[in-house]
Chains A and B, each alone.
Chain A
Amino acid sequence: MDYNWMMAVAILLPVVAAILVYILRQYHVRGIIVVVTAIALIINSILFLLKGSQTFTPANAQLWDTVVTVLDYLILLFYIYAGISLKNWLVLIFALTQIVPLAYFEFGMGGKAALEAINPTFVVDHLAIVMTLVISIVGSLICIWAIRYMYDHEHHNHIEKSRQPRFFFWLVLFLGAMNGLVFANNLIYLYFFWEVTTLVCFQLIAHDLNKEAVNNAARALWMNSIGGTGLILAMIYLFVKVGPDSLSVAKIISGGIAPALLLLPVALLCFTGMIKAAQMPFQTWLLGAMVAPTPVSALLHSSTMVKAGVYLVVRLAPAFAGTKLGIMVALVGAFTFMAASGLAISQTTGKRVLAYSTIANLGLIIACAGINTPLSISAAILLIIFHAVSKGLMFLCAGTIEHIVWSREIEDMEGLAAKAPMTTAITTIGVLSMFLPPFGMLLAKWLALEASFTIPLAGILFVIASAATIVFWAKWLGRLMQVLPKLGSKIESLSLSYTVPLWVLVLGIFGLGLGVGPVYEGLVKNAVANVIASGQALTTSATGIVVNGVTAVSSNPSFAVGSYPVWPLFVVFAVGILIPFIFVAVKPGELRPVYLCGEQVEGADADEWYSTADAKTKVQLGGFYFKGALSEAALNPWTYTLSIALLVILFGVVFLAIGGAI
């Protein structure tokens, strides 16, 4: 297909579809439009993969430049309006810190002409292709899943006038903005799509329009506006210190600019990325975002928004290679990984556990970018892929469970395995795929740990985080399993809009996990080469992956650093979990009530016991949340102090290095 059309489908088709779902307000029409758009985006993203690395400048570039400029200011004016109408001064302040420098830069300093001269507008390299695959496939599946979810959501909340058209307008638009963002080479296009994602995020979080939703949306807006400000300041610095031709991503990472001049703008851009990726101390916007309907969380956490943040940091890795800035980026990420994993243990709400887990994994990805070796970048890109699929699935599971038990609290999910065996089985696969072998997430985490030796402190933080990860996932999963001794629970029936995306993602987890060798060879290897050209970290074989000794880390070529037998481990998983799951049978006569010191009420499936004065009392179990030691109240003073200190040191080393260079 013509490349013009491919770009149009990737960026503009979601816009058209968004407008259509807004105008045509029937449930079924909306469903058809969303499904068709999803299929088109998925096919289109595969075409990008087949086409390979390309650059692209639209035919009437002048026109598009004008459109982008006009929309930029419209968005910023809307932020000002939002700040004033919500009486949220932070929103207003950070809208002004964007619009004033941007206007001065573009029209006062001659930045507009410099930006228009940047060629090409878009660079679609292999890293961008990985991103567009993630966005288009996982993002589209979430949109399909949302069709039924939003219907149920409004039905359950007795909403008179449907707000679904508006919801799907922003949801579908998100995918286009993300595609534009990862393709953008011209910094003003990057900035524009960045702001669109911030705007869409604001609108989606505020969707339910209750007080909490609006407040949290405003928080997401002002925090990400700080990031936008960072992006503008980086542009101005580049323009003034380096020259008008430096306002493109390709130029920044080309190695053609003196490292000392690059440090500050790159630090600012990384800072921008970290805010979008909800790194500490900016994690609260993402935690607040979970008040939104679950498709929004699924989209924000898996394939869009936060992935834009980590994408930018990974993208910029060549620009901070070998600097102290790189070490600090790694430490900020590793610290967030550890702190967020610890905080997740004390969370009682399912979606909040997921949110902290996302923040933690984004931290790991950013830490990998900071470590900046072929091995760690491979880990980072594999994490982006696997995390999108697993976390997408986990949020869809959380949403499906929410619509079965009508609660987001983990405690209300006790014994879900009896109520909804299929959802529980899928959730189990989702949870296991987040942190255990043989699945892809663990493989990437294992790579990250093997890569961590250059910054041992990061390695130590990874290790503590990994241990905490085990605890919060396993105890959540454990609550779902706590069933009464009863047989013959019926498989629940769910709408196709729920089950199709769920099963596709489950297939994705197994397919990508088993096929990690081909995925690495066909997709990730080239993307890593876009970031770090020298050396190949991994060798794939028929059954697994070997971490090369010679190029990855070690100067001793005679032995490998590590090996991961992928296929054998999947066989072990099949033998240890899947086959027992299918074949283990319990006959009715073999079931016994649990041990209650001989005081239980008769009947195999009774969960009552004779308490004082033979009063029948129900057995009640409660999860362990360690509120005393690990709650936000207990840990946040530490996490904020340390994470802010890390950011201060990050900019400190940059200023010291600049001072030293002068």
Chain B
Amino acid sequence: MNAWIIAIVTVIVAPFIGGLLAGIDRRITARLQGRFGPPILQPFYDFFKLLGKAKIASSRLQLIWIYGYLVFMVTALLFLVLKLDLLLLVFVIGFAGVSFALGGFSSKSPYSHIGANRELMQMLAYEPVLLLFALGVFAVNGSFLISEIFNNPTPLLARLWPIFIAVLLILTIKLRKSPFDLATSHHGHQELIKGIMTEYSGPYYALIQLTEWYEYVLLLGLVYIFWANPWWAGLIVAAVAYILELLIDNITARMTVGWAVKFVWSVGLVLCVLNLIYFWLLPIKGVS
């Protein structure tokens, strides 16, 4: 029953943390750009305002898929807090991503069509890195279970630091930060408008915001497990990583999606593979 309580608490608390993170993001970004910025709670004000707006849509299908996006993202987060299988968690995130992309495809809209295709390209970039992250965890622990990460007194970071760098790259993509802010964009760009999210508005757009908040917590949770023992060390790692992402967002320009795939594969993937080769040359712990 303990697991049920953890799950329910997570589902309730995570959006508040995610929303706060989004608020902090806006504030810090504003300061970096020499503006004052909105209150920290602004994302929540926006959220409730969106909920009150008229329901409009350009197809029924696109609404179905955003529920899939939300539900699978929450599931992935539950996998993390219940300390289940990391590899499967990555596949569950994959469903969330595919669901979101299909939502973007679900109307005959040029902008969301481009955005959805870019979303898929971004998945092509980050999926292998996340899967290799799971294989790396196995190389260290002899298990894909997240619970074993918490049982291991040595932090993952000590032995998986190249993969950690790769995961930071993925974090930039998943947080939709520059230079990878390609499938949608925080600021209107002529070629994209709001990309994959163009056709969503009002309460449905609020659902996407909510999903993104869950996603923020999930992603920083994945960074957290790089230093899971003692419990506070991971928080510091996650906080530093988040601030770093905000900095990167503000000092880089958006690049093209082709560049993004090439860059992540040639840097992130190579780092992961090198890390794994290192373990291959060493005997794997706990494996006969």
Q: A-side interface residues toward B, CB under 8 Å?
A: 414-415, 417, 436-437, 442, 446, 449-450, 452-453, 456, 459-460, 463-464, 466-468, 470-471, 473-475, 477-479, 481-485, 487, 547, 549, 553-556, 559-565, 569, 572, 575-577, 579-581, 584-586, 590-596, 607, 619, 621, 623-624, 629
Contacts and interface: CB of A to CB of B under 8 A. Distances in A.
B108 A595 contact: no
Contacts of B134: 449
A449 B88 CA distance: 10
A559 B148 contact: yes
B108 A555 contact: no
Interface in B36-81: 54-61, 63-64, 67-68, 70-72, 75
Sort A-B residue pairs by CB-CB distance and give the 10 closest, nearest first: A576-B71, A478-B105, A594-B109, A467-B127, A555-B288, A580-B67, A556-B286, A562-B144, A481-B106, A463-B131
Contact of B64 (A460, A577, A590): A577
A460 B75 contact: no
19 contacts: A417-B61, A446-B87, A450-B138, A453-B287, A456-B135, A456-B276, A470-B124, A477-B105, A483-B59, A483-B61, A483-B106, A559-B147, A575-B71, A576-B72, A577-B68, A577-B71, A590-B54, A607-B108, A629-B258
A414 B145 CA distance: 41
Contacts of A482: 105-108, 113
Nearest to B193: A595
A453 B138 contact: yes
Contacts of B60: 487, 584-586
Nearest to A482: B108
B11 interface: no
A458 to B, nearest CB: 11
A470 B94 contact: yes
Given A478-B101, A564-B85, 11 more contacts: A436-B98, A446-B91, A449-B135, A453-B135, A474-B102, A479-B105, A481-B106, A561-B145, A580-B67, A580-B68, A595-B199
Nearest to A604: B58
Given A436-B94, A554-B287, A477 B127 contact: no
Interface residues of B, number: 74
Nearest to B109: A594
B132 A590 contact: no
Nearest to B135: A459
Contacts of B273: 460
A371 to B, nearest CB: 14
A619 B56 contact: no
B286 A594 contact: no
Contacts of B30: none
A481 B67 contact: no
Contacts of B87: 446, 449-450, 562
A554 B148 CA distance: 13
Contact of A485 (B59, B113, B131): B59
B132 A553 contact: no
Given A556-B142, A561-B143, A483 B284 contact: no
A563 B288 contact: no
B58 A594 contact: yes
B221 interface: no
Contacts of A592: 56-58
A561 B85 CA distance: 8
Contacts of B29: none
B266 to A, nearest CB: 13
Interface stretch (B115-123, B173-181, B229-237): B115-123
B239 interface: no
